[in-house]
Structure 1
Amino acid sequence: MVTGANGGLGEQFVLQALERGASKVYAAARKPRDWSDARVEPLSLDIIDADAVAQAAVAAPDVDLLINNAAIAPTGDTLFGPEDEAHRIFETNFFGTLRVANAFAPILAANGGGTLVNILSSSVWVSLPTVYAASKAAAWSATNGLRFALEAQGTHVMGLLVGMIDTPMAAHFDVPKTSPAIVVAQAYDGIASGALEVLADEQTRDLKSRLSGRAEDFYPWLHGALRAFLGQ
């Protein structure tokens, strides 16, 4: 099952699952689209709606791989913005992700344990003054907690972390971006190999390698790297 399946990363997760031999893919979205492959089952799902999530779990009892991809990154997002907008971002990116994980954990257990993948972001380690970054940092923490909590039922939990991806969500950023197809191929390779985390671009890999240093060294380097990345 793939949430946020209509385009961008979600679409690639659906298509590459079929290429790798999936017998059925639930393509979940708030407004499901038509798919040309009979193996794809469109599923109506708004992850901020608890009843819709519960109904999706009933409709998809045979899921053994859950791709928690649905998220929002509003243009103009800032930590200093309206509080209701911050609530909206967290309701989707953190609570929605956790809500889907909780609903499908028993289903994964019933189907042999399975795998849960949370789509995160390198922004979990970057001091961006956005609610999006804060919500993804919270989701990263929850991903690590879910890994521990679901270990006993045999569910493998993986986090996918990457910087800018060439999707509609990042269209307003004039910076280098990674192809969704390349990101998703690495994710599926990571699932197959049992990886705990997949770092899907060089910038993310470099960023994580620096986290063990002193904050007094890391943050000046990070701010300089961000200014260079954004052309400032």
Structure 2
Amino acid sequence: MKYKRILLKLSGEALMGDQQYGIDINRVVQYAKDIKEIHDKGMQVALVIGGGNIYRGLSAEKAGMDRVQADYMGMLATVINSMALQDALEKLGIKTRLLTAIKMEQICEPFIRRRAVRHLEKGRVVIFGAGTGNPYFTTDTAASLRAIEINADVVLKGTRVDGIYTADPLKDPTATRFDEITFQDVYNRGLSVMDMTAFTLCQENKLPIIVFDMNKPGNLTRLANGERIGTLVRE
């Protein structure tokens, strides 16, 4: 395995599959199987999942809702997604722990850094829910923050595209993909990888990011084995 400990960031929208909203169980099961492959090889895996398939705080704010209230609702959506993936992983025989930034004693543990690291050392897949627990911060920022806190080797951002392009490949057929790019080049070109807070956290802590297509079965294992998949962002 190329890495000992990773943080895998999944978007909520990715869990929709071909649906317009909600959770596609088949997609969740596919992700769980991919995670099991690298977990069974000894890799320590932590996860952060967005909530955009259920609720988006920014969209609600534009419709007139209080931003803080909307963001807390979005955090609860991430917990729903985390519970769905937790269930799929445990049905495959993987021990998991769901830790959230908002206390919900009946369904999960509160996030405590040392506890999270200990779970990873014991071979459990750790899922971080409810973002950072604060409004105005995205789950991208939560992923960067948690990765730094647990000393992850890399942030793997699983998306529906196979890397970072010079432009949106869905809109511009001439867009070309980067195999590797520096943090500074991303800034200079104005490319969208993560929100600026999350991206800056990774840069300041010299934490590499790999953006790759999570929807292609086997890609996660190939990355874990050191193959060049997607786009690597580094110093």
> Which of the five TM-score ranges fits, normalised by the shorter chain?
0.3 to 0.5
Higher strand share: 2
More helix by share: 1
TM-score normalised per structure 2: 0.40
Higher relative contact order (CA 8 A, sep 6+): 2
